[in-house]
């Protein structure tokens, strides 16, 4: 069975929601980098219950009515990547962490660059909030959806004082 997808419009551009059976497998960006998230062929299903529920929760989040997502997730990656992605889920709404903070949290304090690489391959953007991970200097660093989208998401969550890193 192929993963199913639904495309939605959002304040950060078009998003592609992807499900494997009853779990969310990915949220892809409009200008997604080729092979950042490997899913293989997809089949469109605009009525899939999980994809409709994901859309509903995302729209509530963008409207400022939701701080936590309640969805079953299906992370596919290496053990290390999955540990990083699960650590992202522990970052509270409206807060940020550095790549070093995540490395320490997963018990690998010298793996800061590897954490950054795993963060960049996070398949479930927004819900596994990789946008809440910033440079140790407090600057905004790379983001699959682009730095403007990262700034918008952080502003939505009340983190408006962060600076873009160029």
Q: What is the distance between the alpha carbons of residues 120 and 161, in angstroms, rounded to a whole number?
A: 23
Among residues 16, 50, 130, 133, which one is catalytic? Answer: 130
Q: Tokens 């992605």 sit at which residue?
A: 85
Our answer to whether residue 130 is catalytic in this structure is yes
DSSP string of 67-88, one letter each residue: SS----B---S-HHHHHHHHHH
Residue 7 tokens, joined: 């495309």
Q: What's the sign of the alpha-carbon dihedral 70, 37, 119, 140?
A: negative
Angle at 67 between CA 162 and CA 94, to 5 degrees: 20
Distance CA 27, CA 8 (A): 10
CA within 13 Å, CB half, 128? 26
Is 75 in contact with 138 (CB distance < 8 Å)? no
Residues with active-site annotation: 130
């Amino acid at each position: 069975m192929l993963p199913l997808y639904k495309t939605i419009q959002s304040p950060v551009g078009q998003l592609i929601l992807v499900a494997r059976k009853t779990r969310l497998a990915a949220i892809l960006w409009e200008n997604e980098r080729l092979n950042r998230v490997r899913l293989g062929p997809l089949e469109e299903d605009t009525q899939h219950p999980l994809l409709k529920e994901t859309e509903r929760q995302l729209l509530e989040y963008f409207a400022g009515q939701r701080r936590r997502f309640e969805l079953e997730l299906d992370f596919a990656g290496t053990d290390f990547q999955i540990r990083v992605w699960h650590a992202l889920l522990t970052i509270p709404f409206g807060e940020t962490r550095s790549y070093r903070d995540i490395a320490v949290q997963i018990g690998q304090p010298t793996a800061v660059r590897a954490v950054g690489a795993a963060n960049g391959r996070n398949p479930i953007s927004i819900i596994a909030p990789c946008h809440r991970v910033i440079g140790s200097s407090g600057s905004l660093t790379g983001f699959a959806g682009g730095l403007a989208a990262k700034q918008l998401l952080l502003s939505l969550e009340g983190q408006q004082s962060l600076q873009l890193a160029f």
